[in-house]
Structure 1
Amino acid sequence: MTDMPLTVKRSIELLGIVLVIAILVVANNIIMPVIMAFFISIVLLPVYRFLIKHKFPEVAAIILPILLLAIFLGLIIWFFSAQVGILVNDFPQIKHNVSVHLNALSKWISSISDFSTTEQVKFINEKSNDLLGVAGKAASGAAVTLSSIFVFVGLLPIYIYLMLFYKDILLRFIFMWFKPDHHPKVKEAIYETEAIIKNYLVGLLIQVTYMTILLGGILLLIGIKHALLIGVIFAILNLIPYVGALIGNLIGVMLTLTSSTELWPVVTVLGVIAVVQFLDNNILMPRIVGSKVKINALFAILGVIIGGSIAGVSGMFLSMPLIAVLKVIFDRTQTFKQWGVLLGDERPTKSPMTFPTFRKKKAVATKAGTEK
């Protein structure tokens, strides 16, 4: 490939990107469980190595971590369902509170416009019928979605087991793609990829725990109803970069409005979420994850949107570790080094338009004061 003209190289690169995206779109139901299993396998690898070191049989050393993971996920589902059950029990009160808010909103609209209460009721009824139609269509596809989720969850432990069992074959396959003199770089990339995925996923797990405790606990002490449910929903949605936090704020406001006829709890919830998010983004999460790979915000958001359009929530969740792994690979290959620069957030100290040095594929000084 080194003897090819530059235009041919770039054309092959762009064609490869289009081909990979096309494969992901067409076969996302097959590929996404495999990618998810790969990431989870890397997280479970230290437990597997610990059990092997202490003379456990290999099969038991693989099955035990998977069982522990299943128990942990079961506890999360139980906690979440218990909180939803409390919300369902309060439905009569929620219905009354929604009626109060709608009446107050109706009076406010009437006071600032010529839109009468009768017209408002007619408008709401029309939109409600439209909403019911959309809900019916969504319900018709719910069985298919539910079945695909069961297939996803059913295949996941099988994939995890087989990846841990055949990990040496997979590693040998990777090394055989490269010349022996490139093996040190390949080994370094594998170790760094393992560290990044492990730090990222374990960090997210810790993040969900302390976000639920901090947010839910503070709201519970203040006296906000459904505080723990708001905390756990926001903590889980916050796993989706940028987009999740916004949706979590909206759901927190909606839950608070339906549980109270006053507005001060809404302001309190938004204020507490803002404080907890500030602590999370600037103090806690950077110390917990501690990854050296930095992805710029533009491609982080694009990755989340593209991942969501290809594979839904699982695609949004997996987008960041996938981009981080790609950046590790790109940074270590001369052919694709420019793609690693594009994904990173290391800005040159000077404009490449005025300094030719900053246009070349070599280490340059960045605004953070490091050589990239």
Structure 2
Amino acid sequence: MIKEMPLTVKRAVELIGLFVLGTIVVAGNTIIMPLLMAFFFSLMLLPVFRFFRRLKVPEAIAVFLPILLLTIALALIIWLFSSQIGALLNDFPKIQHTVAKHLDNLSIWISKSYGYSPADQVTFINEQSKKMFTSLGGILSGAAGSLSGVVIFMGLLPIYIYLIILYRNLFLKFLLMWFKKEEFQNVEEAVRQTEKMVKSYLIGLLIQISYIIILLGGSLWLFGIQNALLIGIIFAFLNLIPYLGALIGNILGVLLTLASSDSITDVLVVLGAITAVQLLDNNILMPRVVGSQVKINPLVSIVGIIIGGVMAGLSGMFLAMPVLSILKIVFERSDKYKQWGVLLGDERPLKSQMQA
């Protein structure tokens, strides 16, 4: 008989496997990330597809219609965001004057507090500008590469979604062939739970985006804050990235307010409105919308989001939570990897397991 591997060897193999998997994702993220994103969107669109099939719509058309609806929704969001950016650019002369005034005030404060004269500050800025411009060519080429990657990503996404939904039964059969017949029920339950979790999570995020834009943009508009809707849109989408996105959204909201207003009161209003909407979202609205579908502890969430961003950029940060949730579902249903499911979860033991 073949001897079972020692526990330490098993753990070493698992860690090596994680490293190899991470290397594959980094090297092939332009291929893997559109596929992964399409997989999650396909799970979200499955109920719409099934609705059209119940209406006796031909399968190919029933697959196409949900993708068309999703494309229209995304196009409306892009149009709304671009219209707000256009309105911001129309106010550029005023923004330029306001920013210059804030910079003058900052220069005076630095001069009084640290003894750096305005001339020294200008010299320092000029030196840093020269350093920045030396690397501008690399930055622009990287931006062009990123733009082309986004175009390819968006072009492949609907094709992948269409094919994944169309060949869903083939992929399920392929998955079941890796397991014994007595394990089929457990695998099917995991697949159904994954579908339910992803559907609830993504639909919940769409609802969350809508009410944050309405609540935050509307409240700022009532207080007379310029670019209120743009601040609401930016914060709503950045809030899709748990923990880190809200912090970036606060910073950008303050910067947009400073660029269009001389009053510190407006900045306080923006911070207060964002805080109020965030408290309402975190404690009342989001738990009811998504429920308890995503139970990942905050430490693993933050580390996972950072790793996802390093490995695959913004799409990796966005997909980190659903990927971790699926891994948790798989680990919890596996006898060999249950400990990883415990590590990802947010259930804290009532007492230390080392106590007698």
Shorter-chain TM-score: what band? over 0.9
CA distance in 2, matches of 1:197, 1:158: 20
CA distance in 1, matches of 2:131, 2:37: 37
SS in 2 for 1:239: coil
Judging changes above 3 Å, is the alpha-carbon distance between structure 1 residues 133 and 282 closer, same or farther for their aligned structure 2 residues? Answer: farther
Determine whether 1:204 maps to 2:214: no
CA distance in 2, matches of 1:98, 1:2: 71
Could you tell me how far 1:61 is from its partner in structure 2? 0.1
User: 1:199–1:291: 8 Å Cα contact kept in structure 2?
Assistant: no
CA distance in 2, matches of 1:186, 1:354: 36
Could you tell me how far 1:135 is from its partner in structure 2? 4.0
CA distance in 1, matches of 2:135, 2:354: 52
Could you tell me how far 1:3 is from its partner in structure 2? 3.4
Judging changes above 3 Å, is the alpha-carbon distance between structure 1 residues 163 and 112 closer, same or farther for their aligned structure 2 residues? Answer: same
2:114 aligns with 113
Q: What 5-or-longer segments of structure 2 have no aligned partner?
A: none
Could you tell me how far 1:53 is from its partner in structure 2? 1.1
Aligned positions, number: 355
Could you tell me how far 1:2 is from its partner in structure 2? 9.2
User: 2:81–2:230: 8 Å Cα contact kept in structure 1?
Assistant: yes
Q: What 5-or-longer segments of structure 1 have no aligned partner?
A: 356-372
2:64 aligns with 63
User: 2:200–2:290: 8 Å Cα contact kept in structure 1?
Assistant: yes
Task: Output aligned runs, 1:282-321, within 5 Å.
Answer: 282-321=283-322
CA distance in 2, matches of 1:44, 1:255: 35
Could you tell me how far 1:306 is from its partner in structure 2? 0.5
1:336 aligns with 337
SS in 1 for 2:269: helix
SS in 1 for 2:179: coil
SS in 2 for 1:141: helix
SS in 1 for 2:5: coil
Write the letter of the residue equivalent to 1:188: E
Task: Output aligned runs, 1:119-198, within 5 Å.
Answer: 119-198=120-199
CA distance in 2, matches of 1:185, 1:174: 12
User: 2:221–2:229: 8 Å Cα contact kept in structure 1?
Assistant: yes
CA distance in 2, matches of 1:25, 1:145: 15
Residue deviations 1:49-69, cap 9 Å, x none? 011111000000000111111
CA distance in 2, matches of 1:159, 1:318: 16
User: 1:196–1:291: 8 Å Cα contact kept in structure 2?
Assistant: no
2:12 aligns with 11
Task: Output aligned runs, 1:230-249, within 5 Å.
Answer: 230-249=231-250
Aligned-pair identity in percent equals 57
Could you tell me how far 1:115 is from its partner in structure 2? 1.1
User: 2:250–2:274: 8 Å Cα contact kept in structure 1?
Assistant: yes
User: 1:234–1:249: 8 Å Cα contact kept in structure 2?
Assistant: yes
Could you tell me how far 1:122 is from its partner in structure 2? 1.6
Write the letter of the residue equivalent to 2:182: D
Judging changes above 3 Å, is the alpha-carbon distance between structure 1 residues 349 and 308 closer, same or farther for their aligned structure 2 residues? Answer: same
2:262 aligns with 261
Residue deviations 1:276-324, cap 9 Å, x none? 0000011100110013441011110011001001110000000000000
Write the letter of the residue equivalent to 2:67: I
Residue deviations 1:228-286, cap 9 Å, x none? 00000010011011111111111101100010112111111011100000000111001
SS in 1 for 2:240: coil
CA distance in 2, matches of 1:110, 1:150: 47
Could you tell me how far 1:129 is from its partner in structure 2? 3.0
Q: TM-score of the superposition, structure 2-length normalised?
A: 0.97
Judging changes above 3 Å, is the alpha-carbon distance between structure 1 residues 3 and 297 closer, same or farther for their aligned structure 2 residues? Answer: same
CA distance in 1, matches of 2:287, 2:171: 32
CA distance in 1, matches of 2:111, 2:324: 51
User: 2:300–2:344: 8 Å Cα contact kept in structure 1?
Assistant: yes
CA distance in 1, matches of 2:102, 2:294: 47
1:217 aligns with 218
CA distance in 2, matches of 1:248, 1:332: 37
- Structural RMSD (CA): 1.3
CA distance in 2, matches of 1:29, 1:2: 41
CA distance in 1, matches of 2:54, 2:219: 43
SS in 1 for 2:347: coil
Write the letter of the residue equivalent to 1:121: V
Could you tell me how far 1:158 is from its partner in structure 2? 0.8
SS in 2 for 1:347: coil
CA distance in 2, matches of 1:102, 1:90: 18
1:366 aligns with none
Could you tell me how far 1:141 is from its partner in structure 2? 2.0
Judging changes above 3 Å, is the alpha-carbon distance between structure 1 residues 340 and 315 closer, same or farther for their aligned structure 2 residues? Answer: same
Q: TM-score of the superposition, structure 1-length normalised?
A: 0.93
2:327 aligns with 326
Residue deviations 1:60-83, cap 9 Å, x none? 000011111111111111000000
Judging changes above 3 Å, is the alpha-carbon distance between structure 1 residues 351 and 24 closer, same or farther for their aligned structure 2 residues? Answer: same
SS in 1 for 2:50: helix
Write the letter of the residue equivalent to 2:167: Y
SS in 2 for 1:334: coil
Residue deviations 1:76-107, cap 9 Å, x none? 11000000000111111011001110111111
CA distance in 1, matches of 2:119, 2:267: 29
User: 2:332–2:338: 8 Å Cα contact kept in structure 1?
Assistant: yes
User: 1:238–1:244: 8 Å Cα contact kept in structure 2?
Assistant: yes
